[in-house]
Structure 1
Amino acid sequence: MNDKQWYSIEDCTILPLKQFSDDRGSLVPIECGTDMPFVPQRVFTTFAVPGGTTRGEHANLETHEFIVCPSGALTVWIYDGTHEKSIRLDRPDQGLIVPPTVWIELREFVADTCIVVLASHSYNAKEYIRDLPSFEAFRKGQDQ
């Protein structure tokens, strides 16, 4: 495990996106490999989340995620086994990079929130840690 790249919450970064607006509305393009540090292999959207629901609740071992909230708002709770932080996403012209080995929970969705997630890898259930105690044990073993 010593050759694995370990990330912390400090590596979770808000990236601004370009926004073009006129009397016809607004456009926010995302240039893969330019506006974000990877070319996505998977894109998915989450919407119609009932109030009080928490989503995510996992850490990836290899996949980087870029989370954009084009409408509505939510709070992203990130945790690296030592430090934690909450980040509110409520603008379509910014996104949050969450690297692997960081625990993520999506919370406090407002009504009609939609998020788009661009992921660096295709889905692989084997690269997920899906419960917090296992994640904490995994992070404690990082220096071994």
Structure 2
Amino acid sequence: MKNVKNILKIFIIMSVFFTLASCKKDKNEDGASGAVAGKFDYQNNSNNINSGDYRGGNGDGAWLYFLTPDFNSVQIRFKNLGNYVIPIGSFTYKNGAPYNTATNFAGGAVTVNNVSDEINGGTVVIAKDGDKYTITFDATTAKGPLKGSYTGTLKKI
């Protein structure tokens, strides 16, 4: 009977240990905790942004991508820059001539539930402090306003 009580005590202690050990926060593959780094509002819905990245534009600029856990996204395009360049400053939408790389962005899109709407106006402001960016956008699409912000690092894709 004494052995059964000892085995039962060991089992309870191990159960508590394994329960506590499994309570650690899950990490994404890239080491991020999936924390909210920003949000965007579109068509009366608010979407939490948990990651941002920048991508080359096939020799004609760069794209900034902001992604949600639900695979919704905002993409902002800058043209006539080198690939993977992240410009700093205030930018106004302009997709035609004359396009000024120092003051314009060329559009982009917002994707919600696998439906994309093209950005056709607005402003983007990008600031950098160390390796962190603060990016705000106040844009328009044919279906309404798109507003949001992101603060954090940008991963090169």
> What band does the TM-score fall into relative to the shorter chain?
under 0.3
The higher relative CO (CA closer than 8 Å, separation ≥ 6) is in: 1
Question: Structure 2-normalised TM-score?
Answer: 0.25
Of structures 1 and 2, the larger Rg is shown by: 2
